Amino acid sequence: MKTNGESQFDVIVVGGGATGAGTARDCAMRGLKVLLVERHDFASGATGRNHGLLHSGARYAVTDRESAEECIKENMILRRIAAHCVEENDGLFITLPEDDLAYQAKFVEACNAAGIRAEIIDPALARRMEPSVNPELIGAVRVPDGSVDPFRLATANVIDAKLHGAEVLTMHELTGFVIENGRMKGVKLLDHRSKLTKTIYSKLVVNAAGIWGHNIAKMAGVSVNMFPAKGALLVFGHRVNNMVINRCRKPANADILVPGDLICVIGTTSSRIPFEECDNMLVTREEVDLLLAEGEKLAPSLRNTRILRAYAGVRPLVASDSDPTGRSISRGIVLLDHETRDGLAGFITITGGKLMTYRLMAEWCTDLVCRKLNIDRKCSTADIPLPGSRKEEAPAKKYYDIHAAAAPADKKSYTTAAKQQELAEKSAEWRHGSMSAAIATDDDASRALVCECEEVTVAEVEYAIRDLHIDNLVNLRRRTRVGMGTCQGELCACRAAGQLAKAGRCARDAQDNLTHFLQERWKGMYPVTWGDALSEIQFTSWIYEGVYGLPVADNK
Amino acid sequence: MNFDVVIIGGGLSGMACGIALAERGKRCAIISTGQSALHFCSGSFDFLGYVNGFDVETPATTLAKVIPPTHPYARIGADRAIAIAREVPAFFERMGVKVNGSIDRNHYRITPLGIMKPTWLSLADFDAIPEKARLPWSKVSIQNIAGFLDFHTAFVADNLERIGTECSVSAINMPEFDHLRTSPTEMRSANIAKVFEGNDDAVRHFAAIVERNAADAHAVMLPAVFGLADSHAVEVLKQAVKLPICFIPVLPPSVPGIRTQITMRRRFEALGGTYFLGDTVTSARMENGKVAAISTRNLADDELRASHFVLATGSFFGHGLEARPDKVVETLFDADVVADGDRDRWYNHEIFAEQPYMSFGVATDATFHPTKGGKAISNLYAAGSVLSNHNPIKEASGAGVALISALHVADLITPQQQAK
Amino acid sequence: MNISENNFEQCLKCTVCTVYCPVAAVKPEYPGPKQAGPDGERLRLKKPGFFDESLKYCLNCKRCEVACPHDVRIGDIIQAARIKYSKKKPGLRDMMLANTDFMGTVATTMAPVVNASLGLKPVKAILDGVMKIDAHRTFPKYASQKFETWFKRHAQAQQARYAKQVSFFHGCYINYNYPQLGKDFVRVMNALGYGVQLLDREKCCGVALISNGLIDQAKRQAEVNIASVRRSVQEGRPVIGASSTCVFTMRDEYPHLLGVDNADVRDSINLATRFVQMLLDSGKAKLNFRSDYKLRVAYHTACHMEKMGWAAYSIELLRHIPGVEVVVLPSQCCGIAGTYGFKKENYPTSQAIGSSLFKKIEELKPDFVVTDCETCKWQIEMSTSVPVQHPISILAAALK
């Protein structure tokens, strides 16, 4: 990249969460020259640390009509443009004996007013539809909730941005701005890999860094007063439920259980934390106990289900009053034009909102960007599916046809190989949708499983390393679910590290990565480690520290 | 059913105890919930590898000075522990398991990452590397089986190069593996070993490729995937390859570990022992503070009665201990445990730091009787990783504590008798 | 179905089960117990579409369960998945193999014809080509008189004279193919001072129905059997079977796979060798043995015997017999797994699984291989030169 002070880009988007990735995509699709900058990895902040709930908006219907309406609109759009990231599971809002059944009527009315299809169903029917639900429920409402995988969603936006010419830098942290005469001219970045700093110039800079946008704005000399509200969640070892289960009452702690891929998630808590904690959030024992106690009320079988992890995200809420819980605040979208607001031209902050409305946030932000650049292009992100959800690219079951035609005599071996390939493709297709066509599973070695819990093949890992911005095993996990299953890396971590080395990455880095990856897994495990989970981690330690000899120090 | 001694737990500790007692003419039964942690063994047995993060070179002379008084070795008595350790190679030899190494001086084993770890005894397949700072060979050839994901030549090479070893890496393919590779998951160490089991031609064919790949290297490093039911395949391979072969352990399952398990069980049964695999002790019947009998899931109404019982149920992995959200318990007798009552203090937030839970275990009196409510259960003995106050990983002492405590308990049960 | 909730989550991914699966090593099309069981279960809970029909290659030998250090009911998880998700309907061949008692009733009445024709080359060719029953297989011969018929005519009347009574679950094999074992059982029990009765109604235990996917029928038969067992137990007669597989199926597969509750009578369903050995061990009964009996036998632990954990009883019982030298073969699957090995598509797998066992038997050359399972008997007799006997028959022959 040139560093001669010329604007190399129309816009630099800071933050690789869903909003930043969505904004980069929208800008690129409208023909702008875009750079997306992320200090760690895509979806490594709040985007990847929530329920993964495809909100119908019902949760907000009673308290926040505007959010509810935005949600249901975006919900329908995401089903269309991000089909491979979405599971159309539907949701239940259940009333338990301890809840006020009168709330149900108010709730349904509010949903209908917001355009959310909410249908009161018989509790007996609810029990049949979702056998894990608390059988003592006295009321149930069915709503179009679903699940969305935020990692895939953010990544698909990045991929599409790149397909439209955007450039992407991960592991690049913003360290400062170039501001000349009240105008934003560019950003200073620290490359975490090379430890070098660089300056990159652009016409506009968009601050889409979520809660971290607070300090980024401060760096630019403007003030965006956000406050971090921590929400803790627990991941269970398998899918207990297939429909989202919510409590039909005013939003409170731990009242949503969301199935997603092979697991389910209960959350959240809500507590205000200092900014210093945003980068290292610990889930406390009290939070764990609360989540378990409340979660069991939604689905009693959670009591006997292995807990894989505890994690927490930070809601980037723009402070408007002093409510410490942050719950009465609208999660409305906040778009700040710092030129008009603060007299700093060329700087825009997009914040507030929520995962569900990332696309709308990106649209508003890009509309503003285009106005600033005098470009008259309409937003098309609601109409054009994301990579992975494009039917025309759907992986043809080519293998069958090729082999059936080419080697009819060898039908038997073809059948076995084709069957194995079909199995290998199933999970990959679930994760990457139509992009999985790029995953070459046509020989035995490529179909070998690196991660057995989540069925991640050698081919999928190779594809991710090649095409999906992988620097380390944690990135690989976000793209493929390696190490997200029951064993939390016990078998797959070393195999995956081996694949990194095999792909030409430095063997020493791959080993350091392995240590870091296991540490990262452990961080989410220890707050919930008892029972089988403790047996598992003792086994993992036995293997990696005892037999393998991690962490690697120099052999001297 | 009546026995002299019933041993609960069929891992290294339970089996060593059973064999030692059976050698002294005791009628023993072992109950094992499933296969044991020997299935994940490195192929080496550690006695004491580290103290405070530093390598222990001479365990025999160091032990008494460094071991804290609550440690199982200290409770056995450092001298006694060393004396028992000296008996172990012969004990293995009687089973037909050949080992290298001595309690006087630790040697080094090469880990799957090519790191050198101090250890006490290694199965004869594995070379006892005398020094940490260099290999006996300046140039080695590291070879894997193509498509085998559980062995990583790049890591081995990386760490061996750091100690001045010139490494070359190659992958071996043979038609025999094609079939196995068809399965996305089952190209595992034990299944590879099965390819060579009773198929000397395949081993020799493999050996020929190994030699060709090795070129001018001084030694060959291979994944430890040979010799499942016995060490025949290892011997054929070592005979067929002119260069020294250094086996390196892989991800579970451990082929040499399984072989050791099979060999030990065979020895135990040959001595008249009864091994109940896949069964679980469900309850114990107590009489006058002693264990009168135990019941198992499979044997149901047919109690196992004995004069002595050995608790060799392992730690959390073995389910000898169970962590509940609010406490740690010994699962069978609800014996007293040495464990922190506060869950927040079970763990260090750094995974590779010393983890307090690793040292949790059953509380015993001076003669290894577990206590319950502070009172010793006088015909019950604890051995192996169910014991408290040792950290098998940080100390590299797991196998040592298992073996030494098991043999010590066998001595306590038969004070007058020597092994035949 | 009835898999205790989330038992699959006890899996620590330690891979031990994969070592002991007899199928995975020889049949890569089979995903192996870890993948087919606990790992696959998670996937199937996500979408039933992740069910893989190759789970049919599971022998249901339960050796994975025996090996599992964490008590995961891997075999049950796999079988339950087949029951729940498989779309394959059993064909004529599977129906025929599965319906052992229907086939038996037809065959015994025409035993000479059936035996002769099942042995004929053209018939075997048809079985092989049309029915996909492997031509290498020798069908167990059908007896000309069913055990039940013999019992009612020649033994029943004398049973009342014994103070203590048991009910005998003879199973299909004794009834149709090998009544001699049933006669031996009656002789041994009488010698111990026990009278033998039949159950009011006995149906095939259903093991072959389960493995061939005929679950509804298996469940109906299980209900009949458990009702009969219950009556017998209420009348003070425990139920004894000679076949390890029948006994295992009634004790464990009924509740685990078929959802038939047997909790009240499960402990009263016992295996012949265990019952006899426990009796002898307790000193409550004695047997008089011949002094001239000399025999060298090799005991083979059938898979379901291994799963029940009762091999020690049979081995002890054999050792109890003066003049009998017992060698215990390493416990491994012989490959037949009931009707599994009869199917043409499974034949090579079946033989590959058993090959090392057959080799050991040929090396040992005992007078008999002894096992508690009838299908192991067929497999070992077909694959080695050594005849196979049930421990009860050895015991009966040694009696004075």
Q: What is the per-residue pLDDT across A385-443, written as a single tens digit (0 to 9) for each?
A: 999 999 766 554 433 333 333 333 444 444 667 777 777 788 999 999 999 999 988 88
pTM of the entire predicted model: 0.94
- Whether B282 and B170 map to the same domain: the answer is no
How do strand C295-299 and strand C368-370 relate by DSSP bridges? parallel
Q: How confident is the model at residue C112 (pLDDT cuts 50, 70, 90)?
A: low
What angle in degrees, to the nearest 10, is found between the helix axes of A473-480 and A507-525? 60
Q: Domains in chain A, ordered, with CATH?
A: 9-45+151-225+332-373 (3.50.50.60), 87-147+227-318 (3.30.9.10), 396-547 (no CATH)
In a domain, C142, yes or no: no
**Is the Cβ pair C29, B274 closer than 8 Å?**
no
Which chain A residues have a beta carbon less than 8 Å from that of C84? none
Q: How confident is the model at residue B418 (pLDDT cuts 50, 70, 90)?
A: low
Which chain C residues have a beta carbon less than 8 Å from that of A455? 39, 43
Contacts 24+ apart (CB under 8 A), A322-331: A324/A272, A325/A229, A325/A270, A325/A271, A325/A272, A326/A227, A326/A229, A326/A270, A326/A272, A327/A251, A327/A270, A328/A63, A330/A64, A330/A66, A330/A67, A331/A60, A331/A64, A331/A67
CB-nearest to B1 from C68, C281, C306 is: C281
| pLDDT tens string B380-401 | 999 999 999 999 999 999 999 9
Specify the pLDDT at position C96.
73
| pLDDT tens string A284-305 | 999 999 999 999 999 999 999 9
- Whether B302 and B406 map to the same domain: the answer is yes
**Is the Cβ pair B278, C69 closer than 8 Å?**
no
**Is the Cβ pair C14, B39 closer than 8 Å?**
yes
What CA–CA distance (Å, rounded) separates B246 from B237? 11
B178/chain A closest Cα distance in angstroms? 8
What CA–CA distance (Å, rounded) separates C185 from C168? 9
- The CATH code of the domain that includes C378 is 3.40.50
Residue ending a domain, among C85, C106, C123, is C85
DSSP notation for C75-136 = HHHHHHHHHHH--PPP-HHHHHHH-HHHHHHHHHHTHHHHHHHHHSHHHHHHHHHTT-B-TT
**Is the Cβ pair C34, A486 closer than 8 Å?**
no
Mean pLDDT throughout C91-100? Answer: 76
Mean pLDDT throughout A57-61? Answer: 95
Residue C271 corresponds to which tokens in the numbers above?
A: 């295996």
How do strand A347-352 and strand A197-207 relate by DSSP bridges? parallel
Give the chain C residue nearest A444 (alpha carbons): C28
In a domain, C58, yes or no: yes
**Is the Cβ pair A498, B155 closer than 8 Å?**
yes
C-alpha distances out from residue B171 to A137, A491, B151, B241, C199, Å: 60, 21, 11, 16, 63
Residue ending a domain, among B177, B210, B243, is B243
Residue ending a domain, among B243, B272, B296, is B243
Total domains present in chain B: 2
Asked if the model's pLDDT at residue B207 lies above 50, the reply is yes
Asked if the model's pLDDT at residue A170 lies above 50, the reply is yes
Contact B184, C54 (CB under 8 A): no
Q: How confident is the model at residue C350 (pLDDT cuts 50, 70, 90)?
A: confident
Q: What is the pLDDT of chain C when averaged over all its residues? A: 90
- Which 8-state DSSP code applies to residue B32? E
Residue ending a domain, among C35, C64, C85, is C85
| pLDDT tens string A180-210 | 999 999 999 999 999 999 999 999 999 999 9
Specify the pLDDT at position C122.
67
In a domain, B107, yes or no: no
Give the chain C residue nearest A413 (alpha carbons): C29
Bridge partners, B148 (sequence order): none
| pLDDT tens string C249-303 | 999 999 999 999 999 999 999 999 999 999 999 999 999 999 999 999 999 999 9
Q: What is the pLDDT of chain B when averaged over all its residues? A: 96
Q: Which chains touch A (3 or more CB pairs under 8 A)?
A: B, C
**Is the Cβ pair C35, B185 closer than 8 Å?**
yes
Interchain CB contact of A239 with C (< 8 Å): yes
Instruction: Give the count of Cβ contacts less than 8 A between chain B and C.
Output: 106
Of B27-31, B97-101, B366-370, C113-117, give the lowest mean pLDDT range: C113-117
- Which 8-state DSSP code applies to residue B53? T
Which chain B residues have a beta carbon less than 8 Å from that of A494? 112, 150, 152, 251
Of A67, A73, A69, A74, nearest in space to A18 by CA: A74
- Whether B143 and B222 map to the same domain: the answer is yes
- The CATH code of the domain that includes C40 is 1.10.1060.10
Which chain A residues have a beta carbon less than 8 Å from that of B315? 538
CB-nearest to C43 from A262, A301, A420 is: A262
Interchain CB contact of A526 with B (< 8 Å): yes
Mean pLDDT throughout B314-337? Answer: 96
B245/chain C closest Cα distance in angstroms? 25
What CA–CA distance (Å, rounded) separates B275 from A412? 44
- The CATH code of the domain that includes B62 is 3.50.50.60
- Whether B224 and B158 map to the same domain: the answer is yes
In a domain, B234, yes or no: yes
φ/ψ of residue B290, rounded to 5: -120, 160
**Is the Cβ pair C10, A532 closer than 8 Å?**
yes
C61/chain B closest Cα distance in angstroms? 13
B30/chain A closest Cα distance in angstroms? 22
Domain range for B386? 5-100+259-413
**Is the Cβ pair A546, B392 closer than 8 Å?**
yes
In a domain, C49, yes or no: yes
Collapsing DSSP states into helix, strand and coil, what is residue C30? coil
CB-nearest to C278 from B180, B183, B302 is: B302
Amino acid present at A123: P
Q: Which chains touch C (3 or more CB pairs under 8 A)?
A: A, B
Specify the pLDDT at position A328.
46
Domain range for C80? 7-85
- Whether B359 and B216 map to the same domain: the answer is no
Residue ending a domain, among C85, C100, C115, is C85
3-state secondary structure A330-373: CCCEEEEEHHHHHCCECEEEEEECCHHHHHHHHHHHHHHHHHHH
- Whether B290 and B380 map to the same domain: the answer is yes
Interchain CB contact of A518 with B (< 8 Å): yes
**Is the Cβ pair B158, A507 closer than 8 Å?**
yes
Residue ending a domain, among B243, B274, B296, is B243
Total domains present in chain C: 2
The answer for residues whose C-beta is within 8 angstroms of residue B100's C-beta and 6 or more apart is: B107, B121, B122, B123, B124, B126, B127, B128
Which chain A residues have a beta carbon less than 8 Å from that of B344? 285
What CA–CA distance (Å, rounded) separates B314 from B39? 14
A71/chain C closest Cα distance in angstroms? 25
What CA–CA distance (Å, rounded) separates B7 from B274? 10
- Whether B282 and B369 map to the same domain: the answer is yes
Q: How confident is the model at residue B135 (pLDDT cuts 50, 70, 90)?
A: very high
Interface of A with C in 359-388 (CB under 8 A): none
Residue A309 corresponds to which tokens in the numbers above?
A: 């992890």
Task: To the nearest 10°, report the CA torsion of B259, B262, B264, B265.
Answer: 170
Instruction: Give the count of Cβ contacts less than 8 A between chain A and B.
Output: 149
Mean pLDDT throughout A220-231? Answer: 92
**Is the Cβ pair B355, A541 closer than 8 Å?**
yes
Amino acid present at A496: A
Q: How confident is the model at residue A117 (pLDDT cuts 50, 70, 90)?
A: very high
Give the chain B residue nearest A443 (alpha carbons): B182
| pLDDT tens string A435-476 | 999 998 888 899 999 999 999 999 999 999 999 999 999 999
Asked if the model's pLDDT at residue A7 lies above 80, the reply is no
C148/chain B closest Cα distance in angstroms? 31
A254/chain C closest Cα distance in angstroms? 22
Specify the pLDDT at position A320.
60
Give the chain B residue nearest C316 (alpha carbons): B274
- The CATH code of the domain that includes B227 is 3.40.50
Contact C338, C363 (CB under 8 A): no
In a domain, B126, yes or no: no
Residues in chain B: 420
**Is the Cβ pair C12, A301 closer than 8 Å?**
no
